[in-house]
């Protein structure tokens, strides 16, 4: 995975082959944290879920999608003979068995960086398999058909925690990077307008690249690939509609009482935020409310009017967003202004040539990894009383670090979330309780 390339592109830096190696995915950090989690990833513990448990589960899920996509790619390319890894549904027990059977071939087929990524995944899969069949969640959908030029996602059913989770992969390909830097604002209808007319604009502005990746019409190539799989393309025009109608709603109807969660890291976090917001306002009695989103290391997604729409959905109990960010992670600070007026020129100029992005949701900001034991995390929700503090925490200047720390700061979230395991507050409070605490969350 080459998130390093995206960081350099956003900063306007050049990147040589040697620098890609120097900025390679720090698997040693993530591997060590995954190996310590007895109840993480898809979740294996019953009962009400604390903020820590939610953050822990969803963060691991947001990171495991990277190596699993690589593993599936080895099967598709004929480098390993493990067709069972492509069959769905599949549990972690199934994955662990297939990986063990093909371990020697897998190891001989991977480069150094991918080996570290595989080691991470192997540890997770084995631990989940050891949890037993009822506790080991199952993947029911995995779309990496066009992983080089389209978004990658998976849908997971978790019987232990009674939830359906949609998880999006973060930046990994040149196409993903183009999406990341397509940072002009696109106007789109505000679906909260008919629900709460007070202070709701008719349209909202969203990061163009993220919006189109999820909501644009599906390509003809993709349509032909999935033709006959029950997708009605006259109606299901976007990836969002395919995911929701083909997988999520049927899974929720089959598993009564289950809730809908959405997760992702980096680009995946932005897509998760957009998916959760749209799903929370989607007209279907099959989708329970609220929809819960855990966005790890998310860039900015929309403008102030988008935030107003999201806050209205949160206020009505349709949506909850836990946005996990980290000190020194500049991706959380980008893009802070719209960098192009390619679309909606007339409207854009009427609103000003430099349009500010705004974060949404309840922000859990973590200190630098080296400071996790000495400095306190921060919980912040967009409200007038903390505007200056939020602006400072989201500032690029506040989060600048040494060049060699840029990528680790964007990728060490599993370790930092793990460091909260003994935090008395986050292990005892739920996300619903945080949203109900008027000292933390304040609606207009």
Question: How far, in Å, CA of 303 to CA of 309, rounded?
Answer: 10
Question: How far, in Å, CA of 428 to CA of 422, rounded?
Answer: 10
Q: Closest Cα partner for 378 from 370, 389, 369?
A: 389
Region for residue 416 given its phi and psi (left: phi exceeds 0; alpha: psi -120 to 50; beta: otherwise): alpha
Question: How far, in Å, CA of 315 to CA of 303, rounded?
Answer: 19
Q: What is the end-to-end Cα distance of the chain in Å, rounded? A: 41
- Prior bond to 22 cis, omega within 30? no
Tens digits of residue pLDDT in 180-220: 999 999 999 999 988 866 678 999 999 999 999 999 988 77
Total-model pTM: 0.85
Contacts of 229 (CB under 8 A, 6+ apart): 246
Q: Determine whether domain 26-436 maps to CATH 3.90.1200.10.
A: no
> Which residues are paired to 155 by β-bridges?
141, 166
Dihedral of alpha carbons 247, 251, 253, 258, sign: negative
In this structure, are residues 93 and 136 in contact, taking their beta carbons and an 8 Å threshold?
Answer: yes
pLDDT of the residue at 102: 83
* C-alpha to C-alpha distances, 189 to 186, 300, 319, 359, nearest whole angstrom: 10, 19, 18, 19
In this structure, are residues 443 and 314 in contact, taking their beta carbons and an 8 Å threshold?
Answer: yes
Tokens of 386: 């903390």
Question: Which DSSP helix (H) or strand (E) runs through 434?
Answer: helix 431-436
Tens digits of residue pLDDT in 155-176: 999 998 899 999 999 999 999 9
Tokens of 62: 């947001």
> 438: exposed, middle or buried (C-beta count within 10 Å: 0-12, 13-18, 19+)?
exposed
DSSP state of 126: H
CA dihedral 368, 373, 374, 379 (to 10 degrees): 70
pLDDT along the chain (444 residues), means of 10: 39 32 32 34 55 93 88 89 91 80 81 64 64 71 93 94 96 95 92 80 94 89 64 69 94 97 98 98 94 98 95 95 97 82 48 79 96 93 89 87 92 92 96 96 88
Question: How far, in Å, CA of 211 to CA of 343, rounded?
Answer: 13
Give the Cα-Cα-Cα angle 103, 108, 112 (nearest 5 degrees). 105
Question: How far, in Å, CA of 265 to CA of 171, rounded?
Answer: 9
In this structure, are residues 208 and 300 in contact, taking their beta carbons and an 8 Å threshold?
Answer: no
> Which residues are paired to 323 by β-bridges?
295, 363
Q: Give the residue carrying structure tokens 């980096």.
A: 266
Alpha helix segments (H runs only) across 77-201: 92-101, 103-109, 112-130, 174-181
Question: Which DSSP helix (H) or strand (E) runs through 242?
Answer: helix 239-242
pLDDT of the residue at 45: 38
pLDDT of the residue at 234: 52
pLDDT of the residue at 199: 76
Q: Would you list the domain boundaries of the chain?
A: 26-436
* C-alpha to C-alpha distances, 221 to 44, 154, 209, 264, nearest whole angstrom: 39, 20, 20, 26
* C-alpha to C-alpha distances, 267 to 1, 37, 78, 295, 369, nearest whole angstrom: 13, 25, 29, 10, 22
pLDDT of the residue at 119: 65
For residue 336, the SS3 value is coil
């Amino acid at each position: 995975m080459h998130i390093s390339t995206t960081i350099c592109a956003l900063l306007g830096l050049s990147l040589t082959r040697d620098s890609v190696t120097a900025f390679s995915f720090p698997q040693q950090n993530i591997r060590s944290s995954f190996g310590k989690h007895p109840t993480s990833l898809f979740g294996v513990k019953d009962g009400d879920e604390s903020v820590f448990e939610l953050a822990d589960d969803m963060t691991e899920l947001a990171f495991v999608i990277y190596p699993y996509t690589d593993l599936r790619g080895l099967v598709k390319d004929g480098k390993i003979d493990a067709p069972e890894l492509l069959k769905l549904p599949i549990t972690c027990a199934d994955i662990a068995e297939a990986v063990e059977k093909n371990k020697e071939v897998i190891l001989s087929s991977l480069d150094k960086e991918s080996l570290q990524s595989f080691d991470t995944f192997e540890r997770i899969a084995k631990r989940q398999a050891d949890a037993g069949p009822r506790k080991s969640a199952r993947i029911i959908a995995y779309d990496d058909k066009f992983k080089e030029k389209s978004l990658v996602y998976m849908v997971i059913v978790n019987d232990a925690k009674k939830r359906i989770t949609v998880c999006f992969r973060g930046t990994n390909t040149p196409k993903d990077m183009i999406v990341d830097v397509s940072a002009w604002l696109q106007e789109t209808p505000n679906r909260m307008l008919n629900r709460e007319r007070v202070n709701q604009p008719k349209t909202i502005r969203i990061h163009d690249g993220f919006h189109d990746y999820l909501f644009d019409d599906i390509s003809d190539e993709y349509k032909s690939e999935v033709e006959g799989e029950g997708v009605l393309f006259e109606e299901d025009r976007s990836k969002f509609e395919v995911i929701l109608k083909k997988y999520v709603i049927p899974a929720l109807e089959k598993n009564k009482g289950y809730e809908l969660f959405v997760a992702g890291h980096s680009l995946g976090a932005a897509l998760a935020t957009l998916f959760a917001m749209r799903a929370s306002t989607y007209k279907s009695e099959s989708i329970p409310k609220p929809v819960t989103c855990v966005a790890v290391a998310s860039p900015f997604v929309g403008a102030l009017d988008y935030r107003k729409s999201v806050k209205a959905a949160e206020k009505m109990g349709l949506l909850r967003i836990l946005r996990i960010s980290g000190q020194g992670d500049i991706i959380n600070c980008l893009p802070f202004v719209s960098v192009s007026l390619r679309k909606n020129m007339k409207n854009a100029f009427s609103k000003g040539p430099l349009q500010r992005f705004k974060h949404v949701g309840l922000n859990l900001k973590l200190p630098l990894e080296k400071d996790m034991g000495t400095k306190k995390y921060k919980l912040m929700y967009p409200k007038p009383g903390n505007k200056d503090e939020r602006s400072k925490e989201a500032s690029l200047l506040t989060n600048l670090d040494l060049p060699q720390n840029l990528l680790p700061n964007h990728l060490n979230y599993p370790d930092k979330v793990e460091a909260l395991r003994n935090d008395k507050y986050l292990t005892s409070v739920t996300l619903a309780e945080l949203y109900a605490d008027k000292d933390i969350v304040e609606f207009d």
